[in-house]
Amino acid sequence: MALISENQLRSCKVFSDASDDTIASLIANSRLIKFTKNRQIVGQADASTDVYLVAEGIVRAKSFSEKGKEVSYLDIKPGELFGEFSAIDKEPRSTAILAVCDCVVARFTAGVFRAAIAGDPDIALALIELLVEKNRALTERIHEFGTMAVRFRIQSELLRLAEAVVEEDAESAKFDIPTHSELANRVCTHREAVTKELNYLASFGLFKIIKSVVHVKDYQRFRQITGNTDW
């Protein structure tokens, strides 16, 4: 049975400062699982409580309404956890998790995860910090949905994508952009609105999109415009 490595575990903020004994226990009680692109890893409202760590690839958190409307929340990358909510409160899954590409994840039972939290203060503190970070991110999204017009939600998401990979003081920038449909799902609108806004911003010479990569010549101007909801 394949196991996660110490380096992969310590790449996760929650486990980065864990004791050697805790790391050894997590490795011994983990299982690496491969998922192909578009495969569902966790279902929305599932009663399972396992915790997962992305070792390779990217997975995406989504929810679906009874009528099939899709909302995307975030992409989860190597070194990041998912499933910890249900492991903590034992409630059904709040979102579905799907593989964006072929990926590998490490799975831990809720019991193993909770034992690590209880036995290692560094893990407990890091988990608290992670949960606060996620809460702030969701609060920001709720604020955007409740107060911003669609065009500004699209701009905010573009800035969020850029800030995830680009240094704040950079002069130029390149970052990946999801499909128009996926971007629409993230900001609760439709693909046509995303296409219209991207074309509008591109008409100012703000950026070019080449094979799903946004090329920004003047990153500081890009940050100023996409971060300003009054223009």
Q: What is the pLDDT of residue 1?
A: 60
CA atoms of 30 and 33, how far apart (whole Å): 10
Question: Would you call 143 helix, strand, or coil by DSSP?
Answer: helix
Q: What is the pLDDT of residue 204?
A: 84
pLDDT in tens, 128-184: 999 999 999 889 888 888 899 999 999 999 999 999 899 999 999 999 999 999 999
Do strands 40-42 and 51-56 pair parallel, antiparallel, or not at all (unpaired)?
unpaired
CA atoms of 100 and 151, how far apart (whole Å): 25
Q: What is the pLDDT of residue 59?
A: 96
CA atoms of 83 and 130, how far apart (whole Å): 13
Residue 57, sorted as left (phi over 0), alpha (psi -120 to 50) or beta, turns out to be left
Amino acid at 66: E
The pTM assigned to this predicted structure is 0.80
Residue 191: count of CB within 10 angstroms of its CB: 14
DSSP 95: S
Amino acid at 76: I
The domains of the chain, with CATH numbers, are 6-145 (2.60.120.10), 148-226 (1.10.10.10)
DSSP 47: -
Instruction: Report, as ranges of residue numbers, the positions in the chain whose pLDDT lies below 70.
Output: 1, 229-231
